[in-house]
Structures are given as structure tokens and as C-alpha cells.
Amino acid sequence: GDSVVQTEGQVLPSEGDSLIVNCSYETTQYPSLFWYVQYPGEGPQLHLKAMKANDKGRNKGFEAMYRKETTSFHLEKDSVQESDSAVYFCAPYNAGNMLTFGGGTRLMVKP
Amino acid sequence: ETGVTQTPRHLVMGMTNKKSLKCEQHLGHNAMYWYKQSAKKPLELMFVYSLEERVENNSVPSRFSPECPNSSHLFLHLHTLQPEDSALYLCASSQERRYSYEQYFGPGTRLTVT
């Protein structure tokens, strides 16, 4: 089955710092790749997506590049804000199968 | 507001109680999902319904019993739960009939089993 490994636990940058949250996936097919975000008190929501190799997903200043050669989809932002504090889930998807969510990375931005 | 509502938002129940969680989606979607979110397994798929037919039962104990009377409503009936069942239970829906990458989640029901 599909599997995904992302940066574990918490990340604690200060406001204005740059951010990288790592995501590596393993699937038997050629997946589409997604990041979901879960803000406090809410359910997860789709944050950004890349449907094929070399696509770059973008949303609210975040970016992630679909790198097939390294099977990675790292989430990056140049300058984080306190309002970005949330839990982020990397999720590869193959058509006809379930979404596979990573273990989640809690981002807590210090003001 | 995602168009998916869940009630109650918080529930405390004893191990011998019977309770039900309710989910309603206002998006006209065809598929609905139950997930369990806990510290040990952050997003664990439990059940999937497509057009009111259960298409996935992810080795969930029989003390959890889902019901989907129509494409807008989903229930999770709970009985004789264990303390380790304490978690956030999330409902989601999607446009596609079966499995979709774009799922819309409700805010969840925080369940505590005492």
C-alpha cells in the first residue's frame, strides 16, 4: 500500500522565519500529491495540490514542488506568520484508492 | 464553514452507554467518510459510504456501527466503548462517488470515554 513520511512532531519558528516541512512518499502508482491543513477547532481542509511531476502547488504563500525523482513533496514558505499555526498533513492519492495521510506536523509560530 | 456539520461537538460517555454521532453535509456530495483522529494515529479512515452503500470498513471493531440513511446524513452509533476509543471523530464528504482527493471535513466530535 501507499505510505508517507513527513517531519515529525512540532516545528517552532518565529514570525518571519522561513519554513520547510518534509514529505516523502512511497506508492506503487503515479500519485497526485496534496497538503491538507487543520486549524485549531476545525477539520482538515485541502491546502494545496500538485497533480503530476514538476507541478508546483501554491496557496497563501506556501509552495510545494512535486519531485518524482526523489519522491518528495516538501512544503515551504519564505516568511511564516502566526496565523499559519496549524497541523499540516501530506497526502498522496491514487485514483480509485483512499487518500493516505501522513502523521501530521504541528506548526506553532512564535509572535 | 465547510458545509459539513457534526453534532454533538463534545461527548462524554461511560463504557456501558449507547450514543450516536451525527453528520450532515449541505454540499450535494455523493460520498461520506468517518475518520478517527488521535495522538497515536492522526487520521485513521474508519468507514466510507458511496451513494448510501458502505464501500469501506477499515477493520473497525463492531462497537462502532455506521448508518447512512441518505446521501446527506451519516451516523456513527457507539456502544460499550473502551477508554482507548477517546478521540476526535471527523466526518467528511466528497463529490465523487467513491474515494476522492478533495474531501470536505466537519469540525469533529470530541469523544471522551470514562
What tens digit of pLDDT does each residue of A46-81 get? 999 999 999 999 999 999 999 999 999 999 999 999
Cα–Cα distance measured from residue B114 to residue B103, given in angstroms and rounded to the nearest whole number: 31
Residue B40 pLDDT exceeds 90: no
Other Cβ atoms closer than 10 A to A71: 16
Q: Which residues of chain A neighbour B31 with C-beta distances below 8 Å?
A: none
B108 to chain A, any CB pair closer than 8 A? The answer is yes
Other Cβ atoms closer than 10 A to A44: 29
Helix (H, G, I), strand (E, B) or coil at B58: coil
Give residue B57's pLDDT: 74
Interface of B with A in 44-63 (CB under 8 A): 45, 48, 56
Give residue B97's pLDDT: 63
> Which position has the higher pLDDT, B29 or A96?
B29
E-strand stretches of chain B = 4-7, 10-13, 18-25, 31-37, 44-50, 53-57, 64-70, 73-79, 87-94, 104-105, 109-113
- Give the minimum alpha-carbon distance from B47 to chain A in angstroms, rounded to a whole number: 11
B43 to chain A, any CB pair closer than 8 A? The answer is yes
Give residue A48's pLDDT: 97
Cα–Cα distance measured from residue A101 to residue B12, given in angstroms and rounded to the nearest whole number: 27
The grid cell for A98 is 483512499
Instruction: Choose the weakest-confidence range: B6-20, B46-60, B68-82.
Output: B46-60
Contacts with B40 (C-beta within 8 Å, 6 or more apart), sequence order: none
Bond prior to B8 in cis (omega within 30° of 0): yes
Across the interface, of B48, B101, B108, the residue whose CB is closest to A93 is B101
- Amino acid identity of B43? L
Give residue B41's pLDDT: 81
Using a 10 angstrom Cβ sphere, with 0-12 exposed, 13-18 middle and 19 or more buried, the burial of residue B71 is: middle
The grid cell for A93 is 492519492
Helix (H, G, I), strand (E, B) or coil at A70: coil
The β-bridge partners of A98 are none
- Amino acid identity of A14? S
Give residue B59's pLDDT: 83
Q: Which residues of chain B neighbour A99 with C-beta distances below 8 Å?
A: 45, 99, 101, 103
Residue B98 pLDDT exceeds 70: no
CA dihedral B107, A110, A16, A25 (to 10 degrees): -50
- Give the minimum alpha-carbon distance from A32 to chain B in angstroms, rounded to a whole number: 9
| Interface of chain A toward chain B, CB-CB under 8 angstroms | 32, 34, 41-46, 49, 87, 89, 91, 93, 96-99, 101-104
Interface test with B, best of A30, A37, A89, A101 (most B CBs within 10 A): A101
Query: A3 and A23 in contact (C-beta within 8 Å)?
Result: no
Residue B99 pLDDT exceeds 80: no
B109 to chain A, any CB pair closer than 8 A? The answer is no
